[in-house]
Amino acid sequence: MGIKMVYLMNELDHWETCYQNKETPWDKGEASPGLVDFLVDNSELKKGTVCVPGCGIGHDVLAWASKGFEASGVDIAPSAVERAREHASGKAHACSFHLGNFLNESPESPFDWVFEHTFYCAIQPDQRNDYLQAMLRWIKPGGSLLAVHYLIPDEDGPPFGTTRDEVFQRFSPHFELKKEWVPRSYPNRTGLERMFWWCKPL
Ligand X SMILES: C[S@@+](CC[C@H](N)C(=O)[O-])C[C@H]1O[C@@H](n2cnc3c(N)ncnc32)[C@H](O)[C@@H]1O
* HEC readout, 113-182: EEEEECCCCCCCHHHHHHHHHHHHHHEEEEEEEEEEEECCCCCCCCCCCCCHHHHHHHHCCCCEEEEEEC
Give the Cα separation of 143 and 48 in Å (integer). Answer: 10
Q: 119, 138, 160, 171: which one contacts ligand X (CB under 6 A)? A: 119
Q: Is the CB of 87 or the CB of 93 nearer to ligand X?
A: 87
Q: Is the CB of 20 or the CB of 172 nearer to ligand X?
A: 20
Q: 117, 149, 189, 200: which one contacts ligand X (CB under 6 A)? A: 117
Q: 118, 144, 162, 185: which one contacts ligand X (CB under 6 A)? A: 118
Residues in the chain: 202
38-46, 51-59, 84-92, 194-202 -> range binding ligand X (CB under 6 A)? 51-59
113-121, 136-144, 160-168, 183-191 -> range binding ligand X (CB under 6 A)? 113-121
Taking the complex as a whole, how short is the minimal distance between the CB of residue 171 and ligand X, in angstroms?
A: 18
Q: 122, 135, 147, 167: which one contacts ligand X (CB under 6 A)? A: 122
Report the DSSP pairing between strands 176-181 and 111-117.
unpaired
Q: Is the CB of 56 or the CB of 143 nearer to ligand X?
A: 56
- For position 66 contacting ligand X by CB under 6 A, the verdict is no
Which burial class, exposed, middle or buried, applies to 156 when counting CB atoms under 10 A from its CB (0-12, 13-18, 19+)?
exposed
List all residues 6 or more positions away from 100 whose beta carbon is below 8 Å from its beta carbon.
Answer: 74, 75, 76
CB atoms within 10 A of CB 73: 30
Chain residues 6-45 in contact with ligand X, contact rule CB under 6 A: 11, 15, 26-27
Could you tell me how far CA 177 lies from the centroid of its own chain? 18
- For position 146 contacting ligand X by CB under 6 A, the verdict is no
3-state secondary structure of 35: helix
Chain residues 70-109 in contact with ligand X, contact rule CB under 6 A: 74-77, 80, 101-103
Q: Which residues bind ligand X (CB under 6 A)?
A: 11, 15, 26-27, 53-56, 74-77, 80, 101-103, 117-119, 122-123
